[in-house]
Amino acid sequence: MKAGFVNIFGKPNAGKSTLLNALIGEKLAIVSSKVQTTRHRIKGILTTDDYQIIFSDTPGIIEPKYKLHERMMQAVKSSLEDADVVLLLVDIKDNLEECDAIFSSLRLKVPAIVLVNKTDKVDQEKVEQVAAFFSAKSYCKKLIAISALKKSNLQELLSAIIELLPEGEAFYANDEMTDLSERFFVAEMIREKIFDLFEEEIPYHSTVLVHEFKQKSSLIKIGANIIVQRDTQKSIIIGEGGKMIKKIGTEARKEIEKFLGQKIFLELFVKVRPKWRENDIFLKEYGY
Ligand SMILES: Nc1nc2c(ncn2[C@@H]2O[C@H](COP(=O)(O)OP(=O)(O)O)[C@@H](O)[C@H]2O)c(=O)[nH]1
Ligand SMILES: [Mg+2]
């Protein structure tokens, strides 16, 4: 048996969450076209008779600007510490020098596979050029060109990981897919809709807290608070005549029902908590 922790790092928007979902075959991590969508370390566990891989998706590596950012970078740091194998993900269209600088600064002590992602967007010549750039780097044990979105070359990636994985017993039971609670994923699915439906600062000033999760006879009753920093943001989230919050609710409900495999009743509230992103007590309460 082989077992170990395989942690995914990269700049915001490289496709880390898309890759985790593709590898696990289940949507664990929310995805958006906007940067800094992922705020936590999210584990996805893949178990067979021969191996157990515990993947971790992490927030994109950034320079912290407020306390929430600091918490996000702590999630990155903790993932660096327990990794057996590291996946360094690059958006093929990103600035290569910048990615290289970030990867070098991690001072990795474990083998790293560089994954050149989004190859579906470019031609073969570009793939070869970027592959040559990273193959020459000292931290690059192996390089694989993939498309997380189109799920291409993931089998090759799995084989490469298994080769580097240490011998050992499984850390989690066979049927465990993640270490996080259903409440967490429900809150994340609501947060994803906020990223989809609102522009500019709204997604970055918002978070979601599930305060009620109760099994009733034929459905689960879920109550959640959308937390924002200002009254104006509350009005935007609610929308004219409640139009927007209704839209968040409808779209989130579909995803949550798919995830839980059960009908739900979803009730959303909006709460204003000035500067919650800077406040230790609020950050803790909201799971950061
Ligand atoms: N074309 C293309 N888009 C991708 C690929 N992987 C991820 N994306 C898109 O890139 C954006 C950011 O993805 P996400 O997984 O949230 O990135 P993260 O910030 O690194 O977790 C989303 O719009 C994804 O659909 C890929 O292989 N090809
Ligand atoms: Mg992400």
Give the model confidence (pLDDT) of 205-238 as tens digits: 999 999 999 999 889 999 999 999 999 999 999 9
* Ligand 1 center to 78 CA (angstroms): 23
| Mean pLDDT of all residues in 183-187 | 95
Q: Which residues are paired to 272 by β-bridges? A: 228
> Closest Cα to atom 13, ligand 1: which residue?
15
User: What is residue 62's predicted lDDT score, i.e. its pLDDT?
Assistant: 82
DSSP secondary structure of 107-121: --SS-EEEEEE-GGG
The pLDDT tens digits for 46-80 are 999 999 999 999 988 888 888 899 888 888 888 88
Q: Where are the alpha helices (DSSP H) in 93-197?
A: 96-105, 124-135, 154-164, 182-197
Residue holding tokens 């699915």?
189
User: What is residue 181's predicted lDDT score, i.e. its pLDDT?
Assistant: 92
| Helix H or strand E encompassing 77 | helix 67-82
DSSP secondary structure of 192-256: HHHHHH--TTGGGG-EEEEEEEEE-SSSEEEEEEEEESSHHHHHHHH-GGGHHHHHHHHHHHHHH
Question: Which residue out of 16, 17, 18, 23 has the highest number of ligand 1 atoms within 8 Å of its CB and is therefore the one to mutate?
Answer: 18
Please give the share of the chain, as a percent, with pLDDT higher than 90: 84
The pLDDT tens digits for 156-178 are 999 999 999 999 999 999 999 99
Arithmetic mean of pLDDT over the chain: 94
CA angle (156 as vertex; 150, 160 as ends), nearest 5: 135
- Residue ranges around ligand 1 (CB below 6 Å): 10, 12-18, 31-33, 37-38, 60, 117-118, 120-121, 147-149
Residue holding tokens 């920093």?
229
DSSP state of 25: T
> Closest Cα to atom 26, ligand 1: which residue?
118
User: What is residue 77's predicted lDDT score, i.e. its pLDDT?
Assistant: 86
The pLDDT tens digits for 107-149 are 898 999 999 999 999 999 999 999 999 999 999 999 999 999 9
Encoded tokens for 277: 């992103």
Euclidean distance between CA atoms 38 and 31, whole angstroms: 8
User: What is residue 7's predicted lDDT score, i.e. its pLDDT?
Assistant: 95
> Closest Cα to atom 12, ligand 1: which residue?
13
| Helices 231-238/243-260 angle, 10° precision | 70
Are 3 and 172 in contact by the 8 Å Cβ rule? The answer is no
User: What is residue 284's predicted lDDT score, i.e. its pLDDT?
Assistant: 92
Contacts 24+ apart (CB under 8 A), 240-246: 244/197, 244/198, 245/270
Question: Which residue out of 149, 150, 157 has the highest number of ligand 1 atoms within 8 Å of its CB and is therefore the one to mutate?
Answer: 149
* Ligand 2 center to 60 CA (angstroms): 7
> Closest Cα to atom 10, ligand 1: which residue?
15
Euclidean distance between CA atoms 204 and 81, whole angstroms: 27
Q: Distances from the Cα of 166 to the Cαs of 3, 67, 109, 178, in angstroms?
A: 6, 36, 14, 20
